Amino acid sequence: MLSNRLSDNLKVHIRSSLARIGVEVSAYTGSFQDHRSSLLKRGNVETVWDVGAHIGQYASGLRRQGFRNGIISLEPARDAYWELSRRAASDPRWRTLNVAFVCDPSISQVLLRTVVLLSVVLDVCIVIS
């Protein structure tokens, strides 16, 4: 664990430096799902964007945890999108888009081909259809 490897002085220095810019660091002992659910409830989140949604596993998990606000799922791969849109069809607050999200429009076709094959692309920024 990182906390066991850092000296106490270094930990204090890191925490105080981050506190100056408004960031608090502390250990979290719950599960990721509990933490996410708590953040979504406390943060008054209106809409979750699920980029690279595949068949909607993440959005479905949010619904199982009680998130009732909007979800927008983006998935460029046709087969995965078909299943995603089928899953979301009965949920009026869950929109799906058959698009990819990319940073550089000049390489959008390459990224789209990559996404269709792998259904995953990292470092993405603008929507293409």
Domain boundaries, the chain: 2-128
pLDDT of 98-128, one tens digit each? 887 766 555 555 444 444 444 444 444 444 4
Alpha-carbon gap, residue 72 to 80, rounded angstroms: 15
Contact indicator for 62, 89 with CB cutoff of 8 Å: no
Burial of 78 (0-12, 13-18, 19+ CB in 10 A): exposed
Residue 103 DSSP code? S
Task: Indicate whether this model's pTM tops 0.75.
Answer: no
pLDDT of 1-52, one tens digit each? 455 566 788 888 888 888 888 877 777 677 777 777 777 877 778 889 898 8
**CATH class of the region 2-128:** alpha beta
pLDDT of 39-98, one tens digit each? 787 777 888 989 889 999 999 999 988 889 999 999 988 899 999 999 999 999 999 998
- Name residues whose C-beta falls within 8 Å of residue 110's C-beta, 6 or more positions apart in sequence: none
Q: How confident is the prediction for the chain on average, in pLDDT?
A: 76
